Amino acid sequence: MKRIFIFIAVLGLAFSANAQCGEDSTGSKRQVTLTLGVQAGATLFTTGNTPYDNPYGLKLQVPLVTTIPLSDSWQLVTGLRYDFEWAPLRYNVEPAAGSGLNFMTTATTDRQTAMMHHSYLGIPFEVAWYPFRNNHRLLHLSLDIYGGYAVSRYLKIHTRDARHTYNGVQTSRSSEVVESSDPMFQPWKLEVGLTVGTDMLGLLHGVRFFTNLLPTYRDPASGQKIYTSGMTFYL
C-alpha cells in the first residue's frame, strides 16, 4: 500500500531534461526528453468464460521514459514504467482446494465482490508516428511492446450475507485474500499494443488496443492458460 501512495503522490508531476539531437525541417532543434509522469485509464477486457474473467478494470501508470525524435514525424520512447491494475471478477468464485478458482455452483444469498490486483514493473518500447508534423497534439499512432514483472499480485474477495441486516444495513461480512504465492498467478507480462492518441478531445487522450502474449493466469487444476486482451481508454 505504501508504494501505491508514493506513486499517486507524483500525480501531476513532470520534469524534463533536454539534449540537442539534430534539427527538423524548419531548422529548429529536436530534443531528447526524459519525462516522469502519471497517466490513468479504464480498460475493457476479453478473458473468456472462466472464473478469472474480468469485464473491465482501472489502470494507473507511472512512466519514467526517454523520448527520442527520429524525424519530424517519428519518435522512439523507452525507459521504465510501473503499472497498477485493479479488475473485478465477473462471476462469483471460491478458492479451489489447494489453489486456483472455481465457479460457485451452489445457491447462496451472499453478495460477493472479488477484485484482482496487479502491479508491474517493466520496460516499455514504443514507436510513434505523427501524421501532422507541425502539430503533434492533433493525432498520433503508435506501436508498443511492454515487458514487465508482477511485483505484487493478489485477489481480495468480499462476501456479504443479505439475510443478516440491522436497520437495513448488512451486518454479516467476510473477506478473504488469495496471495501471490497461489500458482494461478503468472508473474510475467509481454504486452503488445496499438494506440490512437490525440490531445484535442479534452478528457479522452487516446485508445490503446492490446493483447498479452503471455498468460495472466493459469488454472492449476486443468492447466488452462488464461490470456487477456482488450482496449484501454486513457484520460
Inter-CA distances, 65 with 14, 155, 212, Å: 11, 30, 21
Residue 82 has pLDDT above 70, yes or no: yes
What is residue 96's DSSP assignment? P
Q: What does 143-156 look like in DSSP terms, one character per residue?
A: EEEEEEEEEEEEEE
Residue 212 has pLDDT above 90, yes or no: yes
pLDDT in tens, 180-192: 899 999 999 999 9
User: For domain 12-91+115-150+183-216+226-234, which architecture applies?
Assistant: Beta Barrel (2.40)
Which cell numbers hold the place of 30?
529536436
Nearest alpha carbon to residue 49 among 173, 226, 215: 226
Q: Which pLDDT score, from 0 to 100, does residue 168 have?
A: 54
pLDDT in tens, 120-167: 999 999 999 999 888 888 899 999 999 999 999 999 999 886 655 545
Question: What is the bridge-based pairing of β-strands 169-170 and 165-166?
Answer: antiparallel
More confident residue, 219 or 173: 219
Phi first, then psi: what are they for 233, rounded to 5°?
A: -100, 115
For residue 36, give every residue at least 6 positions away whose Cβ sits within 8 Å of its Cβ, in sequence order, or none: 10, 13, 14, 15, 62, 63, 64
For residue 23, give every residue at least 6 positions away whose Cβ sits within 8 Å of its Cβ, in sequence order, or none: 29, 30
Tally of residues, the chain:
235
Which cell numbers hold the place of 73?
514525424
Whole-model pTM above 0.95? no
Q: Which pLDDT score, from 0 to 100, does residue 152 have?
A: 95
